[in-house]
Homo-oligomer: A and B are copies of this chain.
Amino acid sequence: MKNFQFYNPTKIIFGKDTVAELATLVPQQARVLILFGGASAEKNGTLAEVRAALGQRSVREFGGIEPNPSYETLMRAVAMAQAEHVDYLLAVGGGSVIDGTKFVAAAAVFDGDAWEIARSGGTKVRKALAFGAVLTLPATGSEMNNGAVVTHKASQDKLAFRSPLLFPQFSVLDPTKTFTLPARQVANGLVDAFVHTTEQYLTYPVQALAQDRFAESLLQTLVEIAPRALAAPDDYATRANLMWTATLALNGLIGAGVPQDWATHMIGHELTALYDIDHARTLAIVLPSLLKVQREQKRAKLLQYGERVWGIRDGSEEERLDAAVDATRAFFERLGVPTRLSAYGLGAQAVEAVLAQLAKHGMTRLGEHGDIDLARSRRILEEAL
C-alpha cells in the first residue's frame, strides 16, 4: 500500500424528502446564489422545493449552466455573485452544475485572471465562497469531492482542477430526484461511475486489499443494478444504490493508497472538447481500447477484475484477459452507450485532432506508469475506431 492522505469533510444527507433539510444546512444569514442547469430543475419541482426550504434568506438564481460547463457561462455567474454580494452558493443539478459552482466559488474571490484557476490545476486557489449542493444526477461524484472540470469554449480547452477549499460543505442526495432523468443520462451515469472506479483500480497490485475490494464492490453493484436502473426509473432502491455508488466512486476513498490511471479521462476530455460527445460516452470509447493496449501493464489487475467482477475463471490467462476487456465493452454497449468512434461518425482525422490537443495540453505521459505517450494514445484511439 502506498502512503496516502484522506480527507473529506463534505456532509452527505441521503434519502427521500431530504431537500427540506436545506433549511438548517444553509446558514440563516447567507446571501445565496442558486446555480442550476436547464429547465428540468424547474419543471420537476426541485427548484420550488429548494426555494421553499431556503425560506426568508436572500436568494438569487443563475440558470443555464450547460453540460461540460464553460468558462464563458460561469464568468457570467461570477459577475452576478460579485454584483449581488453573494456569500453562499447552492448548486442544484448534476456534476456539471456542481463543477461549475466550484469554479464560481473560487473565481468570485480570485485575484487575477480566473482562468488561471483551471490552468494551475487549482493550486492558485487561495480562498473560495462556501457552497453546498442538491444532486439530481448520479454520475460524476462532484457532490463529495474537491475537483471539477471546466471548458474554455474559445480555445476548446477542457481542464481539471482541485483544491482543499472546494469541497461542498454538504450535499443533499435524494434518489427520487433521479426518477425523471432521461435514460441516456442514467446510462451515462452508470458508465461514468464505472470508469471512475476502474481509473483507481485497473492499474497494478500494491497489496491494498480493502481498496481493491471496495472498488470491486462498486463495479459489482453497478453491473447488478444497471438493467433496472434503465428499465425501472422509479425503483427507489435501484436509484438509491446508483446514487450512493456513484458518489463513493470518486470521493477519495477507493483511490487512497493505490496507483491511479486517469488516461481514459484525459483522452476522453479532448473528445468532448472537440466533438461535444457526452463525457461518459467518451470514456466508453476510450476504456476498452486502452485496456487492450495496456494489457501487459495491467495484467494482474485485469485478471483479478475479470474474476471478481465478471466471474471469468475459465480458460488460459490470455483468454481471460480478452474476456475481461470484452465484458467491459459489452457492458457499455448493453447500456446503449457506443464504444467506437465510428458510432459518432469519427475516423482517422479525429485521431489526429485528439493527438494534437493532447500534445497541446502536455498529456504525453499518461497512465499509472506515465508510459502512455502520444504514440500509445494513437494506438488506443486507432483501436477505438
Binding site for B on A (CB under 8 A): 1-16, 18, 207-211, 213-214, 216-218, 220-221, 224-225, 237, 240-241, 244-245, 248, 253, 256-257
Query: How far apart sit A356 and B225, CA to CA, in the bound complex (Å)?
Result: 48
Residue of B nearest to A12 (CB): B6
CB–CB A18/B3 < 8 A: yes
CB–CB A7/B1 < 8 A: no
Residue of B nearest to A18 (CB): B3
CB–CB B12/A237 < 8 A: no
- Besides A3-B16, A4-B15, 9 new A-B residue pairs in contact (Cβ under 8 A), listed by A number: A8-B8, A8-B9, A9-B9, A209-B245, A210-B217, A210-B248, A211-B244, A213-B218, A214-B217
Query: How far apart sit A213 and B241, CA to CA, in the bound complex (Å)?
Result: 12
Q: What is the total number of copies of this protein in its complex?
A: 2
Complex partner residue of A244 from B9, B11, B15, B210, CB under 8 angstroms: B210
Complex partner residue of A213 from B2, B221, B237, CB under 8 angstroms: B221
CB–CB A4/B14 < 8 A: yes
Query: How far apart sit A254 and B3, CA to CA, in the bound complex (Å)?
Result: 23
Inter-chain contacts of A18 with B (CB < 8 A): 3
Query: How far apart sit A14 and B253, CA to CA, in the bound complex (Å)?
Result: 13
Query: How far apart sit A214 and B225, CA to CA, in the bound complex (Å)?
Result: 16
When A213-B217, A213-B220, A214-B214 are in contact, do A240 and B1 touch as well, CB less than 8 Å? yes
Complex partner residue of A209 from B2, B211, B221, CB under 8 angstroms: B221
CB–CB B13/A241 < 8 A: no
CB–CB B4/A210 < 8 A: no
When A14-B256, A210-B218, A257-B14 are in contact, do A237 and B5 touch as well, CB less than 8 Å? no
CB–CB B1/A11 < 8 A: no
